[in-house]
Structure formats: C-alpha cells, structure tokens
Amino acid sequence: MTSQVVLQAIISGILMGLIYALIAAGLSLIFGLMEIVNFAHGDHLMVSMFSAFWFWMLFGIDPIYSIPLTILVMATLGVATHYFIIRKILNSTMLVQICATFGLAVAIRALAQFFFTPDFRTIKNPIIQGKFEISGIFIGQPQLYASLVCLIAFILLYLFVTKTETGTALQATAQDRQAAEILGIPSNKMFALGWAIGLSCVAVAGSMLSNFYYVFPDVGVNFSLFAFVAVALGGFGSITGSLIAGIIIGIVESVGGLLIDPSFKLLYVFAVYLFVVIVRPQGIFGRY
Amino acid sequence: MINNISAKLLEAKNEPLWYFNKNSLIIIGVIVLSLLLFPFASPSKFAIHLMMMIFMHAVMAQSWNVLAGFSGQISLGHAIFYGIGAYATAYFYVKLHITPWIGILIGIGISGFVAMLIGIPILRLKGHYFAIATLLIGISFQVVFQRWPEVGSSSGLWIPINRDSPWTSMQFHKSKVAYYYISLIFFIGTFFLVWLLNRSKLGYRLRAIRDQSDAASSLGIHVSKYKIIAFVISAMIMAPMGSIYAQYVLIVDPNNAFNVDISILVLLISVMGGVGNIWGPIIGAVILIPISEFSRIYFGGTGHSIDLIVYGVLIIIICIFRPAGIVSLIPRSFREREKAK
C-alpha cells in the first residue's frame, strides 16, 4: 500500500465529507432552532434526489440547472412540514416529536416506494461526468463539482445566518424564543424559514448527488445516519461544527474502508459517534 | 416534588401486590378464556396467523414500552434483542442440536447480557443522543451478522425440517395452532409480568426516576442501576419473540432479524396505543397489525408500502391530536387502576 492510495482515500473522503456536511448543516440548523431532530432528513434528501431525477427524466433539465427548482420544491415541502406537523408538536414531549418525524420518514419512504417502485435509477449522460488525474490520483468530476457546490452553499448559509438581519433574527430565535418574540421577531415564521433553509441545503446536496449516485427510495437512510453522527460530532445546533464533522466522517469512512475492511465502513463512523457522545456529550463545538 | 415521590414509594409499600379490581378481573378473564378457546372455533389459517402476529407484536411493543415507560429512554434499536433471540435458537439447534425450548432461554440470557453491556455506557446519554446511539448500534449488529461466517453471513441460518419429533424440535408442520398457543402463553405471561412490575417497588422506583431523576437520586435511588435493570428486563422480553418467529418461518437472516423496521414498528405500536400504559401496546398492535396483514393479502407484493403509508400517516395524526395514544380515549374510570401513576 503506497501513500498515494491513502492520499486518494483522503481526497475522496473530503469530497464526500463536504456533501455530508451540507446535509448535516440543514439538520443542525433545524435542531438549533427548535430542538427537534428531523428523523425524516434522509428521506427529504431522497425526495430531492428524485426531484432532480424527474426534472431530468420528464423535462430534460440537467441536475446542475434544476438546482433552483429543486430548492423551490424542497423549501415548499419544508414550510408545509412545519405548518402541518411540526408547528403542532412544538410543545409536546421529545418522544412525540421523535415519533412524528419518524412517522413522516416512514410515510415519505413508503410513498416513494409506492409511486416510484424500489428500482435503482440513474441520470444518464449528465453534463458533469468523467474523471481526471493529477499525479496518479483520480478525482471524479461529479464528486468534485458536488463538493464544490456544497461548499459554496455552505458558505452562503454561513454568511446568511451570521451577516444578514434575517439570519441574526434566526439566531436570536434559536437562543431564546420568548426574548426574540418580545423584540418583535415572529418565532413561527422563523421556524418555517428554518425548515425552508434546512431542506434547501438538502436540495442542493441531493441535486449534486443525483449526478453520480443511484436514486432509489432507501437512498437517504445511510446519509441521514451520517448526518446524525455529524451533528452530534459537531455539536447540535453548530453550523461550523457540522462542516468539520462532515469532513471527519468522510475521511473516517474512506480511509477506514481502505485500511481495515470496506464492508465495515458504517461501523467506523458509528464508533466515532459513540466515542464522542460518551467521552464528550456536547460534541466538539457544542454549546452545552 | 420529593414529597410526591416519597409518598408514591410509601404507597408501594402499603398497597397489596395482588390487588384485583373486580370488573377488570371479569373482563380480563373473559378475554383470556376466549383467546384460549379461539382455535376450537375452527378459524381460518389466516385468522390464526393474524392473532399470532398481534400477540407477538404486542409483546415486542410491551418490551419497548417497559424501557420507555419506566425509564423514559427511547430506544430505536430494539431489533437487536429480537435478532439475538432468533439467532440463539437457530444457532444452537443447527450447530449444537440443542432443542429450541432451551434455545429460547439461552436467547433471553444472551439478550439480557448484551443489554447490560450496551446499557452501561449509553444509558447515561440523554434524549436524542440515546435514541441515535441505539439506532446506530442496532444497524451495527445487522452489519456484523451479515458478515459473520459462523452464523451464515448474509444468507443466514436455515433450520432443518424435522417431521419426527415436533415437540423437541419446536416445529409444527401439520397445524399452526401450536405456535398460536406458544405466542399466547408468552403474551399473557409478559403482560402479567409487566403488570406485577408496574405495582412492585421496583416499578415505583423506575417511575420516580423517569419523572424526576434528580429528586429520586436524592432519595437514595441508584438512577443508572435502575435504568440498566429496566433495559435488561426489556431486552429479555423481546428475545423470545425472535425465537418464536424463527421457529415459525424456519429461517433466520440478518436482513429480517435485525431489521430497523422492527425497532421502528414497536415504537409506533406503543405510541399508537399509549406509552407508559400497560394496555397501550395491546391496543396499538390490535390496530396496526391487521392493517399490514390485510394489505399484504389484498395488494400482494406492493402491499408492503401501502401499510407503511397508513402507519406513517396514522402516527403523525396520533402525535398531533392524541399524543397520549388511543388509550387516552378510553374513559378514565376504566383505566384508573392500571394507569402508570
């Protein structure tokens, strides 16, 4: 085993990690805002991948161009989710909140299986395809562009949350709902906005994934598990935390798969989660 | 608050363990008797199968309910113990020719032990952290069993058919009624056990921990020890269901035995019926299991997702409108005595 192979694994890990990071950022944003873990997050990712797939299949729009449309679809879905379900369980116990988002996950996945069948689909001949080589290290174009787009989306998200007035209002609501309301920030609208943004992150990640990943109803399961790990690792509610955690997970997955045994890839990531929550329950960048 | 809890603990001392409300005794007696006599009414094979599935899922949901109702911890990995039960009977029968009856006991033992090993580090975690940890550990079990040659890797273990000695091999090929009675016995046994636990001192202590763990700890209750006890009991209730199902279908494979869907299903059944209430899992199973069994008949292969659509939507509706479960619709006077106080 040469160092080149390891380097190859690290680079592929970082590229995937940036995608995980964006998915996790959406989850983390929603959790930070209202302390609800969206257990349907992976299934929302699946919906966004199918959205990109159908825009390509029916209208011939390449996934890279359909990103704004998919964002629109997912943001609408997010606002609807908040309006019809989340809004009503905000003050319920944690168990009820878990069950409601789990029920949503089960329903979305089953609907996808019912309407789209469990077949694996791919987008044929997307604009971004192929791979290139830099001194013996192969980089897939779709992976590279996916990670770049995710990184850009991530930076935009970060700038939005920290620099704009609406973003600061979001942060205020996350810190103290009542105090924010006294200052005239409508928390209900902020929550809806949080869901819209959270699922928009997923929309970007899903569109880019659909370039090189199979699209099928169960596709979101592993991504959502990695997102949970990333969020716990980075600290629930910390957006920068989820970037670093996402990259760590990507590297652990691909280097662990290379050095030990690729069939146990999932377990290395899970081991990282268990290690972190047992040793440092608030995560690396967690507030509490 | 502390007064409240110490009052409850005192109450536990004074209240007789064998308290029976006359009306509820009659109702329970009639139900048990009719369940015992049910196979004599020459029901169809499907009816027997359906009843069996209801019993088994009620027990599985009750197992989950013991953990959630008594310790407040939400497990998303209960399939671990189902799978261990299934693998224990199959493995010891296939490889070592030990009768499944003893295999069930071995499965219960291993499950309890594994629950202790898992519980010691992770029961300290709170809320979402615990739920996600159990979800990940549950999937890890599946991944490991898929790649473990000793237990048949991903193709699993086939239990050889034995027509000569149905009782020692726990295989009944002529009629499924025997399986009905086995699951019925576990069903009644489990509910009796949980009912006893509910009124025992242990049960009161566990509830004190769930409601006010700091106050309970200040009264000298060892919080983490009792949480582990609840987890172990819960795991031991779950394991035999895996064993029975393995004997019923005569094959154990990691994709079914450690399926995350089992973990989620037991949670949905409990929440549907009512968490922390002994009757919740029965009500939940009676409502949800027929949906999946009937949809499998009427819609064939695609039925698998139709029942899940209905499940998901039902659960969301319950969470929004009746977070305390269907059991909260029953008039208070009926459930007063059995309510988890």
Rounded average pLDDT over B239-266? 90
Average pLDDT, chain B: 84
What are the pLDDT digits (tens) for B45-84? 888 999 999 999 999 999 999 998 888 888 999 999 999 9
Q: Are residues B305 and A278, on separate chains, in Cβ contact within 8 Å? A: no
The answer to whether the Cβ–Cβ distance between A95 and B129 falls below 8 Å is no
User: Terminus-to-terminus CA distance in chain A, angstroms?
Assistant: 42
For residue A85, give the DSSP letter.
I
What average pLDDT does the segment B154-160 reach? 85
Q: Kindly tell me the burial class for residue A139, based on how many C-beta atoms sit within 10 Å of its own C-beta (0-12, 13-18, 19 or more).
A: middle
Is the CB of A108 inside 8 Å of chain B's CB atoms? Answer: yes
Nearest beta carbon to residue B125 from set A96, A270, A281: A281
Alpha carbons B60 and B79: distance in angstroms, whole number:
9
The beta-carbon neighbor of A37 closest among B128, B271, B314 is: B128
Measured CA distances, B204 to B43, B54, B112, B199, B221 (Å): 42, 29, 21, 7, 11
Per-residue model confidence as pLDDT tens digits over B304-331: 678 888 888 988 999 898 888 888 887 6
Predicted pLDDT at B218: 79
- Judged by average pLDDT, the poorest of A60-69, A125-134, A268-277, B283-292 is A125-134
Place of tokens 């979305």: A108
Question: At which residue do the structure tokens 């209960």 appear?
Answer: B78
Whether residue B340 is predicted with pLDDT greater than 50 in this model: the reply is: no
CB atoms < 10 A from the CB of A135, how many?
6
Backbone angles phi, psi at B251, to 5 degrees: -150, 140
Asked if pLDDT for residue A166 goes beyond 50, the answer is: yes
The pLDDT value recorded for residue A84 is 92
Structure-block tokens of residue B335: 């459930």
Distance from CA of B65 to the nearest CA of A (A): 12
Can you say whether the dihedral through the CA atoms of A86, A91, A92, A96 is positive or negative? positive
pLDDT average, residue stretch A177-195: 89
Looking at residue B9, its pLDDT comes to: 54
Amino acid B339: pLDDT: 47
Interface of A with B in 155-194 (CB under 8 A): none
Check if A120 contacts B (Cβ < 8 Å). Answer: no
Query: How are the residues of chain B apportioned to helix, strand and coil, as percentages rounded to the nearest 5?
Result: 80, 0, 20
* pLDDT in the model for residue A288: 45
pLDDT confidence of residue B295: 79
Helix, strand, coil abundance in chain A, percent, nearest 5: 75, 5, 20
Q: Please check whether residue A30 touches B, CB under 8 A.
A: no
Give residue B304's pLDDT.
61
* Residue A229 in contact with partner chain B when CB distance is under 8 A: yes
Backbone angles phi, psi at A102, to 5 degrees: -65, -40
Higher pLDDT, A136 or B335: A136
CB B83, CB B258: distance < 8 Å: yes
- Count Cβ–Cβ pairs < 8 Å, chain A vs chain B: 127
Decide if A280 contacts A234 (C-beta within 8 A).
Answer: no
Nearest Cα of chain A lies from the Cα of B78 at a distance, in angstroms, of 15
* pLDDT, position A197: 94
What would the mean pLDDT of A58-70 be, rounded to a whole number?
91
Q: What angle do CA A283, A30, B305 make, to 5 degrees?
A: 105
B299 min Cα distance to partner chain A (Å): 11
Report the pLDDT value the prediction gives residue B168, as an integer from 0 to 100.
Answer: 75
Convert A122-139 into a string of H (helix), E (strand) and C (coil).
CCCCCCCCCEEEECCEEE
Determine contact: A7 vs chain B, CB below 8 A: no
- Report the distance separating Cα B70 and Cα B63, nearest Å: 11
Strands B251-252 and B157-158: antiparallel
The per-residue pLDDT for range A87-114, each reduced to its tens digit, is 989 888 888 898 899 899 999 999 998 8
pLDDT at residue A72 above 70?
yes
Q: Do B309 and A114 touch (CB under 8 A)?
A: yes
B292-308, pLDDT tens digit by residue? Answer: 888 777 776 554 678 88
Between B260, B312, B323, which is nearest A107 by CB? Answer: B312
The answer to whether the CB atoms of B319 and A99 lie below 8 A apart is yes
CATH class of A3-279: mainly alpha
CA nearest to B146 within chain A: A263
Across the interface, do B144 and A267 touch by the CB < 8 Å criterion?
Answer: yes
Percent pLDDT > 90 in chain B is: 34
Q: Does A106 touch chain B (CB under 8 A)?
A: yes
**Chain B: nearest CA to A81, how far in angstroms?**
11
Confidence of residue B17 (pLDDT cuts 50, 70, 90): very low
Q: What is the pLDDT of residue B333?
A: 52
* Rounded Cα distance, A273 and A281, in Å: 10
Mean pLDDT for the stretch of residues A77-85: 93
Q: Does residue B148 register a pLDDT over 80?
A: yes
Beta strands in B173-312 (DSSP E): 251-252
- pLDDT at site B32: 87
pLDDT digits (tens, 9 = 90+) for B107-142: 999 999 999 999 998 888 888 888 889 999 999 999
| Residue of A96, A100, A267 with shortest CB distance to B140 | A267
pLDDT (0 to 100) of residue A67: 93
Q: Is the pLDDT of residue B3 over 70?
A: no
**In chain A, where the domains are located:** 3-279
Residue A277 clears pLDDT 90, i.e. is over it: no
Q: How confident is the model at residue B233 (pLDDT cuts 50, 70, 90)?
A: very high
- Closest residue in A to B145 (Cα–Cα): A264
Closest CA to A245 of A256, A261, A234, A232: A234
ipTM of the complex: 0.89
Type of residue numbered A241: G
Please, is A146 exposed, middle or buried when counting C-beta atoms within 10 Å of its C-beta (0-12, 13-18, 19+)?
buried
The answer to whether the CB of B206 falls within 8 A of the CB of B186 is no
Comparing CB atoms, the residue among B129, B302, B316 nearest residue A277 is B129
CB contact under 8 Å between A98 and B264, yes or no, is no
